[in-house]
């Protein structure tokens, strides 16, 4: 195995494109190094991107936040403006692992590892985040939900890597949240995750909404029907019940060592309901 630490995007994508066998991007390493412990792990090349100029920065522009691919979640949590604008996204990112993991892990790594239970992904999707992908053929930007295609698989082509996540600044009267279910208070992989982002109109009614559920399918589930169930409401009891019912029904989880199908479906509804209330309150909603 070789280790390279390029200092430019171009050098990085060239290395990725020219590798013959398996090649991995290394930012935080909190998934990659776990994989490397396995006896069956093989790699030709590991590309450490942390020395690329700007890739560890969070940049605030007039209308967006640009989060470099190597920004640690701990550093993300310390960005006051991002935290104020997108508390759900930052809270989700800060739930990953432990303090030690937080000091290294990245939301881009979380996205590209493509675990169905990744904590930051439902919140990024609900927030409408974009992934800026660089490669030998230039740069392209896609909604983050287009990156994971299934457990452990992404839509990135050979030679491509994500160099930043771009999130537009929130509209007025909007709020986002992320909740997850874990058996312990920390350290666990989410058994169910639910993120809600909603925008209120001047009357305080839900105008637009996005509901994203994690760990209940091979990829994060974005439910239009769930969003519809709360649009036009002030999250009264009937709307919340409808939201919970839709989320439970839409979920397609599996039985595994972390949870059962029944449990995940039921809790998906419970968490969606609770997440919606938090987002509503953040958007300035009152009931």
Radius of gyration (C-alpha) of the chain in whole angstroms: 19
Q: Which stretch binds other proteins (CB under 8 A): 119-127, 150-158, 169-177, 186-194?
A: 186-194
Q: Among 21, 62, 172, 183, which residue sits at the site for other proteins (rule: CB under 8 A)? A: 183
Q: Among 11, 17, 58, 101, which residue sits at the site for other proteins (rule: CB under 8 A)? A: 101
Q: Count other Cβ atoms within 10 Å, centred on residue 183.
A: 9
Q: Is the dihedral of CA 274, 278, 283, 287 positive or negative?
A: positive
Q: Considering the complex, state which of residue 18 and residue 262 has its C-beta at the smaller distance from other proteins.
A: 262
The backbone region for 32, taken as left when phi is positive above 0, alpha when psi lies in -120 to 50, beta otherwise, is alpha
Q: Considering the complex, state which of residue 106 and residue 130 has its C-beta at the smaller distance from other proteins.
A: 106
- Among residue numbers 81 through 100, which ones bind other proteins (CB under 8 A)? 97-100
DSSP state of 205: -
Q: Does 178 bind other proteins (CB under 8 A)?
A: no
3-state DSSP assignment of residue 113: helix
The CA distance from 69 to 6, in Å, is: 14
Q: Among 7, 22, 34, 236, which residue sits at the site for other proteins (rule: CB under 8 A)? A: 34
Q: Is the dihedral of CA 212, 153, 192, 267 positive or negative?
A: positive
Mask for 50-69, x = binds other proteins (CB under 8 A): x-------------------
Q: Does 188 bind other proteins (CB under 8 A)?
A: yes
Q: Does 21 bind other proteins (CB under 8 A)?
A: no
The CA distance from 19 to 24, in Å, is: 10
Q: Does 185 bind other proteins (CB under 8 A)?
A: yes
Q: How far is the CB of 16 from other proteins (least distance, A)?
A: 16
Q: Does 26 bind other proteins (CB under 8 A)?
A: yes
Q: Which stretch binds other proteins (CB under 8 A): 185-193, 194-202, 206-214, 234-242?
A: 185-193
Contact residues for 104 (Cβ-Cβ < 8 A; gap 6+): 28, 29, 30, 72
Give all strands (DSSP E) within 169-271, no chain letters: 174-181, 192-200, 206-214, 221-222
Q: Among 104, 169, 173, 207, which residue sits at the site for other proteins (rule: CB under 8 A)? A: 104
Closest CA to 24 of 129, 130, 156: 156
- Among residue numbers 248 through 287, which ones bind other proteins (CB under 8 A)? 256-260, 262-263, 266-267, 270
Is residue 74 within 8 A of residue 102, CB to CB? The reply is: yes
Q: Name the site residues for other proteins (rule: CB under 8 A).
A: 1-3, 5, 26, 29-30, 33-34, 36-37, 39, 46, 48, 50, 72, 74, 97-101, 103-104, 181, 183-189, 191, 256-260, 262-263, 266-267, 270
């Amino acid at each position: 195995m070789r280790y390279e630490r390029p200092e430019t995007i171009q050098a990085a994508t060239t290395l990725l494109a020219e590798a013959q066998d398996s090649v991995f991007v290394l930012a935080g390493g909190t998934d990659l190094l776990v994989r490397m412990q396995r006896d069956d792990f093989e790699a030709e090349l590991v590309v450490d991107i942390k020395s690329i100029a700007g890739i560890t920065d969070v940049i605030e522009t007039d209308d967006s936040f640009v989060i470099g691919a190597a920004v640690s979640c701990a550093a993300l949590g310390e960005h006051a403006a991002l935290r104020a604008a997108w508390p759900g996204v930052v809270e989700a990112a800060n739930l990953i692992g432990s303090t030690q993991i937080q000091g290294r892990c990245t939301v881009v790594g979380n996205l590209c590892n493509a675990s169905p239970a990744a904590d930051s992904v439902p919140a990024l999707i609900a927030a409408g985040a974009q992934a800026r992908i660089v490669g030998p053929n230039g740069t392209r930007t896609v909604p983050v939900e287009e990156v994971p295609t299934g457990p452990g698989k992404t839509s990135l082509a050979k030679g491509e890597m994500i160099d930043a996540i771009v999130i537009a600044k929130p509209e007025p009267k909007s709020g986002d949240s992320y909740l997850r279910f874990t058996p312990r208070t920390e350290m666990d992989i989410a058994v169910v995750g639910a993120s809600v982002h909603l925008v209120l109109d001047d009357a305080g009614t839900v105008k637009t909404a996005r509901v994203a559920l994690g760990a209940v399918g091979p990829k994060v589930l974005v439910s239009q029907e769930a969003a519809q169930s709360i649009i036009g409401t002030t999250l009264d009891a009937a709307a919340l019940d409808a939201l919970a019912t839709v989320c439970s029904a839409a979920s397609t989880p599996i039985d595994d060592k972390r949870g059962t199908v029944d449990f995940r479906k039921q809790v998906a509804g419970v968490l969606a309901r609770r997440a919606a209330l938090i987002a509503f309150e953040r958007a300035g909603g009152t009931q």
